[in-house]
Amino acid sequence: MAYWLFKSEPNAWSWDDQVAKGDVGEEWNGVRNYQARNNMRLMEIGDLGFFYHSLKEKAVVGIVEVCALAHPDSTTDDPRWECVDIRAVRPVVKPVTLALCKADPRLENMALVKNTRLSVQPVTEAEWTIICEMAGVPF
DNA sequence: GCCAACGTTGGC
DNA sequence: GCCAACGTTGGC
């Protein structure tokens, strides 16, 4: 069981869009970055992730679960690009902002803090626990 | 809207 | 295989 973080611009694909897909979930498509793709190839069914809104909001707003392994990205014919499917599990009680993560010395090595441009990132178990606590989510 | 950071591309 | 140029992301 591993933990991840999925970054999205809310005007392109928001938490509400994700929730509307229900348990069927949705492809996390459109990723054109090798590091992000490689992370998705490592994912297993049932892995959990944070759903993060970039730009104006800059906060973790929900919890998602991987519900399909990496497969070709349907938005391109280029065989290099693959993606997983994810489904919404539950919203957070309190959004955890980037500023909060930066302010917590336990999170200073988080990819979210150190590598702001990576759109699909690994999250350590320690980071997962800390942010779930801050978010008021029982995981 | 600007700019820093980073990734990718392509010429050599 | 190096590196300059360029494009994109995302925080501010």
- Distance measured from the CA of protein residue A13 to the C1' of nucleotide C7, in angstroms: 22
For the cut 80, the answer to whether the pLDDT of residue A139 exceeds it is: no
Query: What pLDDT is attached to residue A19?
Result: 97
A 17-76 residues, CB < 7 A, strand B: 33-35
- Distance measured from the CA of protein residue A42 to the C1' of nucleotide B9, in angstroms: 27
pLDDT digits over A15-48, tens only?
999 999 999 999 999 999 999 999 999 999 999 9
Query: What pLDDT is attached to residue A100?
Result: 95
> Where does chain A have alpha helices with state H?
15-20, 34-41, 98-103, 111-114, 125-135
pLDDT digits over A45-91, tens only?
999 999 999 999 999 999 999 999 999 999 888 888 999 999 999 99
Domains in chain A and their CATH numbers?
3-135 (3.10.590.10)
pTM given for the model = 0.94
- Distance measured from the CA of protein residue A11 to the C1' of nucleotide C4, in angstroms: 34
Residue A27's DSSP bridge partners are A85
Find, among A54, A33, A39, A29, the residue nearest to A4 by Cα: A39
Give yes or no for a contact between A49 and A84, defined as CB atoms under 8 angstroms apart.
no
